[in-house]
Amino acid sequence: MDNDEELFNRPCCCDPTHTIRDGGKYINIVVLNKKALSKYYSASDIWLDGKLRQPRAVAIVCDRCLVAKLEILYVYCRDNDGPAPFRVPVCELEDWTMENSLVGGE
C-alpha cells in the first residue's frame, strides 16, 4: 500500500462488501492485540528500552464501521517481497501479550 489512493480502494476490514472510500472520508488504522504475520502493515512500540517486540497486526477500517463499532474481521499483511497486500482473518492470528511478545528472548 504505497499511497492513500490505494488504501482508499481496499475493502474495509470490518465489512469487505465496501471499500474504505465507500465508507467515509478518512483512513482509520486500528492496532489489534494480535501478533502481526509480517513486518509490513504492523505496529510496534518504540519505547521499550531497546527490547525488540513482536509487532501487532493492524486493520484498515472505514468511518462508517468505526462509528458503528463493528467487529474487525480481517487485518492486512504483506510479504517482504510480495507485490500486493492481502487480508487475513483475525481469528487465525495469535493473541499478542507482553509475555509472548519478546522476539528472540530477553
For 12-46, the pLDDT digits (tens) are 999 989 999 999 999 899 999 998 887 777 777 66
> Is residue 78 very low, low, confident or very high in pLDDT (cuts 50, 70, 90)?
confident
Sequence-separated contacts (24+) of 36-41 with Cβ below 8 Å? 36/75, 36/77, 37/77, 37/88, 37/93, 38/77, 38/78, 38/79, 38/80, 39/80, 40/77, 40/78, 40/79, 40/80, 40/85, 41/1, 41/75, 41/76, 41/77, 41/78, 41/85
User: What does pTM read for this prediction?
Assistant: 0.78
- Binned at pLDDT 50, 70 and 90, residue 82 comes out as low
- Across the chain, mean pLDDT equals 81
In the chain, domain spans: 4-92
